[in-house]
Structure 1
């Protein structure tokens, strides 16, 4: 996905995120895509998801699919 310019992305994280910085940040992108990155490594890799992929992930989290 090298054709996506992240220089103008506005990143945010949950208000519930830990003070120690162990959280993820999300940015909305054109074309109903979302970018996700590690807040501790802001220049590191970024994952790009379509809107439907993100919706499926959020539904899985809410449904307990990832509970340990």
Structure 2
């Protein structure tokens, strides 16, 4: 069995279950997310599905989403 870890090839997490929750009008180039069986969430770049996956536990992904909703990531945007 493969150990799930940050930076592992996203293909090792399987081809099914990936979603594009943040897809916009950018031609499909976006972040894809997959909820893992143990409750963690993996993220990958849609244009590089075989590239590395970032793996977050439930508290980490919740903090990220809550922070983004609260505007804490707005400084990452240009303009």
Residue equivalent to 1:37: 44
TM-score (norm 1): 0.83
Counterpart-to-counterpart distance in 1, 2:53 and 2:25: 20
Query: Do 1:34 and 1:48's aligned partners in 2 also have CA atoms closer than 8 Å?
Result: yes
**Does the CA-based 8 Å contact 1:26-1:35 persist in structure 2?**
yes
The structural deviation recorded for 1:58 is 0.3
Which is further off, 33-42 or 9-18?
9-18
Match of 2:24 in 1: 17
Q: Which has the higher helix share?
A: 2
Structure 1 residues not aligned, in runs of 5+: none
The RMSD of aligned alpha carbons is 1.9
TM-score, normalised to structure 2, is 0.73
Task: Name structure 2 gaps, 5 residues minimum.
Answer: 5-11
Q: CA deviation at 1:7?
A: 1.7
Question: Structure 1 residues 18, 60: closer, same or farther in 2, change over 3 A?
Answer: same
